[in-house]
Structure 1
Amino acid sequence: MAFSRYILMITDENDIVVQSFGWVAMGQATAPFKPQFDEKKVDIAWNEYTDQWGNQFPDGEKYSLIYTEVTLKPGCIYGKLIDKWGNEVPLSKAKVRLESSIGFIGSGLIDAIPDEDILDQYRSEGKHATLNPQFWDNTAKDFVKNTDGTLAVENGGIVYKFDYALDRASVMSDASLWEVQNVTRDDFRSHYIPKEYWQFAAADPDVTSKSYQYYPQWNKTGDPAKDIIAFGKATDLPVEMKESDYVNYMVWHRGVGIPAARNTLTADFKKGKELFTQIGCASCHRPSWTTGEDKIRDPYGRFSAEDTRMVRYPKQKIWPYSDFVQHRLFMKNDLRTGWCKTAPLWGRGLQSLCAGHSDRLHDCRARNTLEAIMWHGCIGEGGQSDALWAVKNFRNLTKEQRQLVIKLPVGGINLS
């Protein structure tokens, strides 16, 4: 909600999201409450970046790269930044980044990929590549396990597949309704907004002096501070989304598909796809997967495995162009932790038409496909990009060949 296309990510020095903001910091609030931060006091600078090749290909063609630098001005933050252990994080030591919103077309198809197939992808890549140690033991070449014996790459027995941070396992969990929009249902009748926010509000005279005026029903004790705290802790909030609406939403959410591929029979497309594989892009942007039986797996038990209301995709060959594994690019002002799930490429061909822009990567720093490719070739603090070798291969193509690769997600859309 912070920006039209961005989420403001504020972490401590160790990349752990500050507790007092929650995962999604809110830039708006309903009177008399105040937003968690003042959008007008967030300064976003777009800086020029020069890579190790001087932003130039061997044949002389030049390109431009930019990256974001985010500064929070004095008075931007409401209250304090509190970490997960209850300690204050000074603004001078906080890390501030942007993350663009994530598209969810085809999420149901991704959800239908068998977990074991994705685990096999980890096993295959883990033999030769360094993977996120949160999930993969790079010494033992095996999965990290939780104390209860379950795999760290799973949640509730379902493999993580969604979000940059790979922290969502199933479309059916759909925490975004609650975490982002704070929409209550009969199984979520509490606030997503963290307790620290309510504590700040309860100590704010501007809020306490008007809370009963706006919400007379909150007057339980005659002490607005106590009543605000109680409201923040409430687990019996009115239900905003009734069951039938939730079912319809989930049917739509899981059913949003992928546009048909276009121009795939042209010679240019076929050659571009061939080059895409030859130079190494397909190593992480795995072209195709085959869905399984696609039994519905709902962590909350609201839908059965055979629920006929829900969209299902059994035994289909799909072309997301992702391995659903995290890699590091070591970009300037990288995303939180530096580990990022390989973004699916399907649907990119219509982005400009539908969204009005062709921005790429986690914070939209790449203004086109060429820039996105070149950001994959970074050598930064701590190491070099996992895709550096593929970018070197891309650089050695002729200009005409580079354009054929670039046109794939523009004209051919799904690369199928």
Structure 2
Amino acid sequence: MQFPDGEKYELIYPELSIPQSAFNTNPKPEDIEIRLESTIGIIGTGLLDAIEEDDIRQQYASTAEYYREQGLDVSEYVNPNFWDAAANDFASGAWYTTFGSAGQLADGSAAPSRMVKRFTYALTRATLQDGPGANAVWNITNVSRPDRPKLYTTDAWAKAMSENSDVISAIKADPTSPYYADGTDAGIAEAVLNLLSPNTNQFDNQWYNFEPDMTTNQFYALMVWHRGLSIPRARNLNDPDVQRGKELFMEMGCASCHRPSWKTGDDNYWTPECIADKPLPRYQNQTIWPYSDMMQHKLYMKNDIHGSWCRTTPLWGRGLSRVNTGAEDRLHDCRARNEVEAIMWHAYSKKSHAYSSAEKFYNLSKADRDAVVKFLQSI
């Protein structure tokens, strides 16, 4: 592939397969699809948590109105699972209601029964203290804590482990194992089945009572750190090339999804009961520059993200990727190896919500393309 001026670029995407032998379940899955998903950035998420729900609602409403005025199907451009175009308000799918534990707001008042989702690519989480970091430390690594007494597993896996002769033999050889039970094959199998179950309270059961992996104080320290992860200061903003790149970024329409700024509100954050008596950092009434509209869009890429809809990734701080990691991987599965590839993936399909903007980038001169990249690296 190449730009009109002859400069070449390449678009690659991951193709994955997992052999059935890798699945230690019974029965083994037969019809599976695999998608890669890179970890999301957690810097600045305390600031995103401070955006008011009404402001997010207004972003949805104004976006829906824009497409309505264009005579286009709003449900194609604004996820109908999150926005009810007829009611001009959030749809049921926009609300997060399954909090990991009871909680309250920062001012001590009772927590609402629901909150608007704003975190993760799939928009599955609404509040940082029950969000991508606080929750992921439990549901990815299974680090238990007082308010997370159950494992994030499956009954199929627990059953497979309880029927695995190698597992049973290894436990039987170690009487100190928490899964040893009465030392018989049947007793060990029962303990394994139940202690690995997602339905068993790890701290209060008849087989073995574990201690939490993370104490309440440790969880509080994690959240102080998590909410406090700041965004690096933008750089070289007075550089003429950076200023030209910003001008082009706006002219091409990139900011229609990568919304530059928001104003935080009172930041009356939700917090679980276990740390409700301890204050967390608040970010009230600040202008922030995440470059995200906090909504989902579709790019219609090859081997696309599961479900096609993907939240606009904040661009702030990403310009330091190479300095900090040695790589510039972009997009949800790191398929783009630099900013240019990331932009051109937005034009993979003419159905892409960002096709027009990416097409304009494609037709820029080499100097202007470099200016856009330099701007992205500055923020």
TM-score band by shorter chain is 0.7 to 0.9
Kept in 2, the 8 Å contact 1:189–1:238? The answer is no
Aligned ranges for residues 10-409 of structure 1 at < 5 Å? 55-80=1-26, 89-90=29-30, 93-127=31-65, 128=67, 129=74, 130-138=77-85, 141-145=88-92, 152-155=94-97, 156-173=113-130, 174-214=134-174, 215-221=176-182, 222=184, 223=186, 224-233=188-197, 234-235=200-201, 236=203, 237-298=210-271, 300-304=272-276, 309-379=279-349, 384-409=351-376
3-state SS in 2 of match to 1:186? coil
Report the alpha carbon displacement of residue 208 of structure 1 after superposing the two structures with TM. 1.3
Q: Structure 1 183/74 Cα, relative in aligned 2: closer, same or farther at 3 Å?
A: closer
CA distance in 2, matches of 1:184, 1:334: 33
Identity of aligned residues (%): 41
Q: Write out per-residue CA displacement over residues 125-181 of structure 1, whole angstroms, 9 at most, x where no aligned residue.
A: 122152122212356654323xxxxx6344442221111111011111121121012
CA distance in 2, matches of 1:266, 1:256: 27
- Number of matched residues? 339
Kept in 2, the 8 Å contact 1:184–1:190? The answer is yes
Pick the structure with more helix per residue. Answer: 2
CA distance in 1, matches of 2:265, 2:224: 19
Q: Which has the higher contact order (CA 8 A, sep 6+)?
A: 2
Report the alpha carbon displacement of residue 121 of structure 1 after superposing the two structures with TM. 0.5
CA distance in 2, matches of 1:395, 1:219: 64
Kept in 1, the 8 Å contact 2:301–2:345? The answer is yes
Report the alpha carbon displacement of residue 374 of structure 1 after superposing the two structures with TM. 0.2
Report the alpha carbon displacement of residue 89 of structure 1 after superposing the two structures with TM. 3.8
- The amino acid that maps onto 2:169 is S
Unaligned runs of 5+ in 2: 68-73, 98-112, 204-209
Q: Write out per-residue CA displacement over residues 73-98 of structure 1, whole angstroms, 9 at most, x where no aligned residue.
A: 342222257xxxxxx641xx210111
Kept in 2, the 8 Å contact 1:296–1:303? The answer is no
CA distance in 2, matches of 1:116, 1:141: 13
CA distance in 2, matches of 1:192, 1:115: 29
Report the alpha carbon displacement of residue 270 of structure 1 after superposing the two structures with TM. 1.2
Compute the TM-score of the two structures, normalised by the length of structure 2.
0.85
3-state SS in 1 of match to 2:376? helix
Q: Structure 1 153/377 Cα, relative in aligned 2: closer, same or farther at 3 Å?
A: farther
Q: Write out per-residue CA displacement over residues 41-67 of structure 1, whole angstroms, 9 at most, x where no aligned residue.
A: xxxxxxxxxxxxxx2222222211100
- The amino acid that maps onto 1:220 is A
CA distance in 2, matches of 1:250, 1:218: 32
CA distance in 1, matches of 2:53, 2:261: 15
Kept in 2, the 8 Å contact 1:288–1:319? The answer is yes
Pick the structure with more strand per residue. Answer: 1
- The amino acid that maps onto 1:350 is L
1:51 maps to none
Q: Write out per-residue CA displacement over residues 309-367 of structure 1, whole angstroms, 9 at most, x where no aligned residue.
A: 31111111100000010000010000110110000000112111111210101111100
Aligned Cα root-mean-square deviation (Å): 1.8
CA distance in 1, matches of 2:173, 2:143: 24
- The amino acid that maps onto 1:98 is L
Compute the TM-score of the two structures, normalised by the length of structure 1.
0.77
3-state SS in 2 of match to 1:225? helix
Q: Structure 1 346/217 Cα, relative in aligned 2: closer, same or farther at 3 Å?
A: closer
3-state SS in 1 of match to 2:37? strand
CA distance in 1, matches of 2:26, 2:330: 33
